[in-house]
């Protein structure tokens, strides 16, 4: 059943006042809510019917059964509350992904006493079940869908349990103040790219560490692979040396947005082009308006450029 938008807006406003966002939170009576589940409502209805029958026919055995069932329901409320009280949640790392891919958010859960059968999820994300929580922190990863680039704030996490009998639904909605960058979807398209030739003929081609060409020998340092030790030279000189190899690195490619494409399509095309250059081992530079990324290579450089694409003219 869908909740009316006005009711949901009022509920979220009340939650922001009662349960403000914080990267680490502990569940207690102030942030735990309890209501009968569907099974619990049927259970209470059956107990009420038994009570009315016992009263009408003055049957003590039926009345005793009704009181027993009601006390069982009352005990279920207390046990359900204890199964969530004391749970500690702390936000962890947020992983960046391309638009359209689910975004993983890390968090840790722990409790001074064992808790059982917990369900965690974002409003629009898949459910994550945890069978048991102990005092030692357990790392949990929740997924949240992403539709567009920019800063993604997943919102509140719903923590729910119906342990032990399923008669009561105990839950809480916590905001761990998490956020992640959503990169543009990597979809090929027109981009402006220029292969730099400024080093050709004036400077030797640059190179980086690799496995292609033998460069020479260097003094062996503790921690380096023994497979690269030059044993023949060691037998001659008595000094441990390692073989060094390099991979040639060509001139960088300068990439910028295509002016004739819509902004989102242009950003997606640039993201695809940068990913392609990275996989080919080609150094690249990126120009985004007044922002410039110098020519480099490697995963860290690719991430910096994709982060720049995600923030480019973003309203978040």
User: What is the per-residue pLDDT for 27?
Assistant: 92
Determine if the pTM surpasses 0.95: no
The answer to whether residue 61 scores a pLDDT higher than 80 is yes
pLDDT tens profile 79-121: 999 999 999 999 988 889 999 899 999 999 999 999 999 999 9
Residues near 139 by beta carbon (within 8 Å), at least 6 away in sequence = 92, 106, 107, 108
The span from the CA of 53 to the CA of 59, in Å, is: 8
Strands 284-288 and 253-256: parallel
Distance from C-alpha of 271 to C-alpha of 312, rounded to nearest angstrom? 12
Q: What is the mean pLDDT of residues 228-252?
A: 62
Would you state the pLDDT for residue 282? 83
- Give CA–CA dist 243/125, Å, rounded: 51
Is the C-alpha dihedral spanning 216, 219, 225, 231 positive or negative? Answer: positive
β-bridge mates for residue 158, sequence order: 121, 173
Name the band, by pLDDT with cuts 50, 70 and 90, for residue 279. Answer: confident
Rounded to whole angstroms, how far apart are CA atoms 79 and 211? 62
User: What distances in angstroms separate CA 208 from CA 51, 172, 211, 274, 283, one per listed residue?
Assistant: 83, 52, 10, 19, 11
Q: Using a pLDDT cut of 90, give the percent of the chain over it.
A: 40
Segment among 11-20, 44-53, 171-180, 209-218 with least mean pLDDT:
209-218
Q: Which two tokens stand for residue 230?
A: 């030059």
| Phi-psi label, residue 39: left if phi above 0, alpha if psi -120 to 50, beta otherwise | alpha
- pLDDT score recorded for residue 220: 62
Q: Does the pLDDT of residue 190 top 90, yes or no? A: no
Euclidean distance between CA atoms 45 and 26, whole angstroms: 34
Contact 244, 219 (CB under 8 A): no
| CA distances for 94 relative to 99, 103, 246, angstroms | 15, 8, 35
CA–chain centroid gap for 139, Å, is 11
Residue 29 has pLDDT above 90, yes or no: no
Which of 70, 5, 71, 73 lies closest to 35 in space, CA to CA? 73
Report phi then psi at 16, rounded to 5: -65, -35
What are the sequence ranges of the domains in the chain? 20-182, 192-311
CB of 53 within 8 A of CB of 64? no
Per DSSP, helices labelled H in the chain are: 5-18, 38-57, 60-82, 231-237, 263-280, 299-311
* Residue 259: pLDDT over 90: no
Continuous H helices in 119-261 = 231-237
Tokens of 69: 């069932």
Nearest to 173 by CA among 59, 13, 1, 287: 13
């Amino acid at each position: 059943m869908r909740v009316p938008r006005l009711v949901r807006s009022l509920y979220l406003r009340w939650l922001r006042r009662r349960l403000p966002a914080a990267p680490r939170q502990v569940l207690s009576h102030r942030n735990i809510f309890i209501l009968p589940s569907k099974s619990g409502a049927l259970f209470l209805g059956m107990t009420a019917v038994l009570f009315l029958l016992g009263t009408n026919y003055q049957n003590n055995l039926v009345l005793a059964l009704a009181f027993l069932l009601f006390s069982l329901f009352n005990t279920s409320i207390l046990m359900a509350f204890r199964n969530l009280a004391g749970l500690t949640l702390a936000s962890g790392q947020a992983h960046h992904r391309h638009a359209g891919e689910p975004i993983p958010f890390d968090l840790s859960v722990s409790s001074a006493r064992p808790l059982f059968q917990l369900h965690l999820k974002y409003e629009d994300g898949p459910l994550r079940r945890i069978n048991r929580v102990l005092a030692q922190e357990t790392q949990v990863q929740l997924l949240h869908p992403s539709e567009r680039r920019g800063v993604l704030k997943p919102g509140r996490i719903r923590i729910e349990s119906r342990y032990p009998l399923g008669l009561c639904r105990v839950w809480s909605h916590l905001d761990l103040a998490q956020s992640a960058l959503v990169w543009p979807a990597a979809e090929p398209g027109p981009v402006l790219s220029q292969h730099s030739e400024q080093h050709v003929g004036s400077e030797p081609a640059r190179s980086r560490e690799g496995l292609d060409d033998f460069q020479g020998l260097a003094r062996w340092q503790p921690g380096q692979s023994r497979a690269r030790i030059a044993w023949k030279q060691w037998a001659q000189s008595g000094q441990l040396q390692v073989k060094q190899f390099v991979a040639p690195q060509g001139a960088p490619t300068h990439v910028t947005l295509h002016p004739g494409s819509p902004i989102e399509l242009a950003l997606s095309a640039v993201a695809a082009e940068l990913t392609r250059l990275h996989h080919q081992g080609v150094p690249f530079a990126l120009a985004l308006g007044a922002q410039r990324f110098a020519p480099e290579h490697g995963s860290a450089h690719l991430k910096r450029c994709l982060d720049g694409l995600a923030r480019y003219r973003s309203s978040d």
